[in-house]
Amino acid sequence: MFSIKTYFALLVACLSTISSAFAADFDFTPNLQKAHQEVFKLRLESAKKLAASEKSSNPFRVYVEHYAETIQLLNTDTEDAYNTFLTHEDERLDAIEDLDEQSPYNRFLRAEIKLLSAVVRIRFGNEVKAAWNVIQAAKLLEENQKLFPQFLPTYKSLGCLHIVIGSVPDNHRWVLKLLGLKGNIAQGVSELHRATKDKEWGNEAMLTSFFIQEFVLKFDERENTELLNTIENQADNLSFHWLATAISLKSTRNEQALKLLKKAPSDPSYPALSIFTLYRADAHLLKGDYAEASRLYTLYIRQFKGKSYLKEAYYKLALCHWLTGDSTKAQQSLARIPSVGVAYAESDKAAEKFYESYSKTHQLPNKTLLKIKHASDGGYYEKAAELLTQLTEKDLETPKERAEYYFRAGKVFQRTHQSDKALASFEKAIQLSAKESWYFAPSASLQIGYYYQEKGQRQQAKAYFEKAISYKKHEYKSSVDSKARAALTEMGFDS
pLDDT at 495: 43
Q: Which residues of 398-419 are buried (b: 16+ CB within 10 A; e: fewer)?
A: eebbbbbbbbbbbbbbbeeebe
Kind plus residue range of the DSSP H or E element containing 117: helix 104-123
Q: Which residues pair with 141 in a beta bridge?
A: 7
pLDDT at 483: 87
Do the Cβ atoms of 403 and 356 come closer than 8 Å?
Answer: no
DSSP for residue 289:
-
pLDDT at 218: 82
Angstrom distances, CA of residue 294 to CA of 53, 165, 283, 306, 366:
44, 40, 11, 20, 19
Do the Cβ atoms of 7 and 158 come closer than 8 Å?
Answer: yes
pLDDT digit of tens for each residue in the chain (495 aa)? 333 333 223 222 222 233 333 445 789 999 999 999 999 999 999 999 999 999 999 999 999 999 999 999 999 988 899 999 999 999 999 999 988 889 999 999 999 999 999 999 999 989 889 889 989 999 999 999 999 999 999 999 999 888 877 766 555 555 566 566 677 778 888 999 999 999 999 999 999 999 988 887 888 899 999 999 999 999 999 999 999 999 999 999 999 999 999 999 989 999 999 999 999 999 999 999 999 999 999 999 999 989 999 999 999 999 999 999 999 999 999 999 999 999 998 899 989 999 999 999 998 999 999 999 999 999 999 999 999 999 887 889 899 999 999 999 999 999 999 999 999 999 999 999 988 889 999 999 999 999 999 999 999 999 999 999 999 888 788 788 888 988 888 888 864
Angstrom distances, CA of residue 64 to CA of 135, 344, 395:
22, 27, 57
Do the Cβ atoms of 213 and 247 come closer than 8 Å?
Answer: no
- Those residues with Cβ within 8 angstroms of residue 335's Cβ, 6 or more apart along the chain or in another chain: none
pLDDT at 243: 95
Q: Provide the terminal-to-terminal Cα distance of the chain, rounded to the nearest Å.
A: 31
**Nearest-angstrom CA–CA distance, 89 and 84:** 9
The radius of gyration of the chain from alpha carbons, rounded to an integer in Å, stands at 23
**Nearest-angstrom CA–CA distance, 49 and 478:** 39
Sign of the four-CA dihedral 94, 97, 99, 104: positive
**Could you tell me the pTM of the whole model?**
0.85
Do the Cβ atoms of 370 and 319 come closer than 8 Å?
Answer: yes
Instruction: Give the Cβ contact number of residue 267 at 10 Å.
Output: 7
